Amino acid sequence: MKWWHIGLIVCLVVAVISPLASSSPDGLERVAEDGGFIGLGQEAPFMLIADYVFPGIENEAVATILAGLIGTLILFGVVCGLAWLIKSRKKESTEPAV
């Protein structure tokens, strides 16, 4: 088992405990409520997994965990892929052009 297997498992565990998160407004939302400008906020033009709740699942904790697991895996995959691309492009550019 490589170190990053364990690292990824730790991330997935964090996603699984995400329903324990505080549901109070965050710092910016609190300031916007107190400052009376929270109403300026607009709805997103489209919704996928809005507010980290996977749609169509009745149990909100399960829906949150599913959203968290999906996001965690997507970010691991996308950022590894991007890093790999950036790293590989360098090799091509240092090789003499044919």
Partner 1 sequence: MHIPDGFLSVATIATTYAVSAGGVSYAVREANKKLKEKHVPLMGVLAAFIFAAQMLNFPVLGGTSGHVIGAALAAILLGPWVAILIMSCVLIAQSLIFQDGGLLALGANIFNMGIVASFSGYYLYRLTVMLLGDGKRSRLTGGFIGAWGSVFLASIACAIELAISGASPLVVVLPAMAGVHALIGIGEGLITGAALSLVLKTRVDLWQLQKV
Asked if 21 contacts 61 with a C-beta cutoff of 8 angstroms, the reply is: no
Binding site for partner 1 (CB under 8 A): 2-4, 7-8, 10-12, 14-15, 17-18, 20-28, 30-32, 34-37, 40-42, 44-45, 47-52, 64, 67-68, 71-80, 82-84, 86-87, 89-90
Q: Which of 75, 78, 65 is nearest to 15 (CA)?
A: 65
CA distances 35 to 17, 25, 28, 29, 57, Å, are 32, 14, 10, 10, 35
Smallest separation (angstroms) from partner 1 to the CB of 14: 4
Look up tokens 């033009």; give the residue.
45
Looking at the Cβ atoms of 94 and 98, the one nearer to partner 1 is: 94
CA–CA dist 42, 28 (Å, integer): 15
Looking at the Cβ atoms of 90 and 97, the one nearer to partner 1 is: 90
Smallest separation (angstroms) from partner 1 to the CB of 58: 20
Looking at the Cβ atoms of 39 and 96, the one nearer to partner 1 is: 39
